[in-house]
């Protein structure tokens, strides 16, 4: 049985970023617990400080970096890999 999930895309609108992301995160984590998922992983741009702060409030920890992961207008940007254990 696979007990790990990787979040590949979380989209929110700027005008409702906080409320919709908190709601989505809370329900997603609850659903993972219901399905016996033990670990959640995601990646976030290093420049996305609000998202990093929010994920930390949901007990995600920085566990690694993917160098030059995102293509930007100015070149590349690193991705921070974050994870959370549910067990």
What is the residue-averaged pLDDT of the chain? 75
Percent of the chain at pLDDT above 90?
A: 29
What average pLDDT does this structure show over 53-76? Answer: 92
Strands (E), 1-87: 4-7, 39-45, 61-72, 75-85
Is residue 15 scored above 50 in pLDDT? no
* CA pair distance 35, 3, nearest whole angstrom: 9
Lowest-confidence range among 14-18, 37-41, 54-58, 63-67? 14-18
Q: Which domain holds residue 29?
A: 4-85
CATH number for the domain spanning 73: value is 3.40.630.30
Which of 68 and 41 is assigned the larger pLDDT? 68
Which of the four pLDDT bands, split at 50, 70 and 90, describes residue 58? Answer: confident
Calpha distance 72→48 (Å, rounded) = 13
What is the model's pLDDT at position 41?
Answer: 84
Domain count, the chain: 1
């Amino acid at each position: 049985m696979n007990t790990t999930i990787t979040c590949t895309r979380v989209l929110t609108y700027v005008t409702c970023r906080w409320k919709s992301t908190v709601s989505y995160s809370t329900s997603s984590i609850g659903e993972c617990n219901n399905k016996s998922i033990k670990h959640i992983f995601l990646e976030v741009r290093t420049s996305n400080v609000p998202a990093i702060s929010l994920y930390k409030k949901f007990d995600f920890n920085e566990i690694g970096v993917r160098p030059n992961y995102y293509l930007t207008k100015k070149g590349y940007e690193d991705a921070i890999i974050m994870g959370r254990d549910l067990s």
